[in-house]
Amino acid sequence: MKVKFYSYIKNLQDSITSKLEEIDGKAKFQEDIWKRKEGGGGRTRVIENGAVFEKGGVNISAVFGPLAPAMQKYFKVGDVDFFACGLSLVLHPKNPMVPTVHANWRYFEMYDKDGTVIDQWFGGGQDLTPYYLFEEDARHFHQVCKNACTPHGFSLYTEYKKKCDEYFWNSHRDEGRGIGGLFFDYLKGDSHMKIEDWYDFVTNVGNSFLDAYVPIVEKRKALSYTPDNRTWQEIRRGRYVEFNLVHDKGTLFGLKTNGRIESILMSLPPHVQWVYDHHPEAGSPEAKLLEVLRTPKSWV
């Protein structure tokens, strides 16, 4: 399974980066091959200062070795080995009318000292973070997510949409990071869904990503915007940074397993503002966005 899934994410990285370069029309992804001294490595691809994408990364990695003590405690296991691979992407567009997007699809195995697999699971999802809310874009993104889930179980979209709203929640701000999408973790084989079935599900979601995001970018990338729109985008990016550094489990796992810092922190946008006690004007588009972030809604 680990060989099969790593092969899948390598191909998915290629298809996503080539399409994004085509959309941007100016910038190309810079590729960085890296190795982890404890075992494994990855292929980082970063795009910067493009016509459409101010900064973005589409990264894959496969790392393995002894599980760090901090993570042994987290998983409530003893001295075991692990293998983890996945694709993680974040795209920060230049135009405030185009939403930021994040996605991640990953696979994890744990072994005893004889090399026997003692646990395995999939995780991941995809979610949208707009700065200005276009409801038709929100409906489109969620409809594609739902369409990817439905063949594998009628209730999966509802369940993983709810988990996404709960996970990407800035509890210290009492608001969502964005308008959600899908979030799932610890998808393990059982009597209802074998691990192979979860592979089919996760890869179907991964294959849906470009369909979910690209039409939104194409529709919004040429819209005009003002310096005030840009300021609001940078303030909201600050909330994005807060979530990633305070709450995100993936960031925590990377830092505690001696992950590659440049790859872990590639999710952070290049231009951000923290304005003291900032509140948008009542009735403004900015205030409308905050209403939705504070009370997640059903889009489809």
Whole-number pLDDT of residue 251: 87
Whether 276 has a pLDDT exceeding 80, the answer reads yes
Whole-number pLDDT of residue 232: 98
Whether 166 has a pLDDT exceeding 90, the answer reads yes
Percent of the chain, pLDDT > 70? 100
Q: Give the pLDDT mean for 195-211.
A: 98
Which residues are identified as catalytic? 102
Whole-number pLDDT of residue 72: 86
Give the start-to-end residue ranges of the domains of the chain: 2-294
**pLDDT tens-digit readout, 87-133:** 999 999 999 999 999 999 999 999 998 889 999 999 999 999 999 99
Which fold, 2-294? oxygen-dependent coproporphyrinogen oxidase (3.40.1500)
**pLDDT tens-digit readout, 68-91:** 887 888 888 989 999 999 999 999
Query: What pLDDT band is residue 255 in, cutting at 50, 70 and 90?
Result: confident
Query: What pLDDT band is residue 2 in, cutting at 50, 70 and 90?
Result: very high
What's the whole-model pTM score?
0.95
Whole-number pLDDT of residue 191: 78
144 HSE (CA, 13 A, CB side): 24
Whether 211 has a pLDDT exceeding 80, the answer reads yes
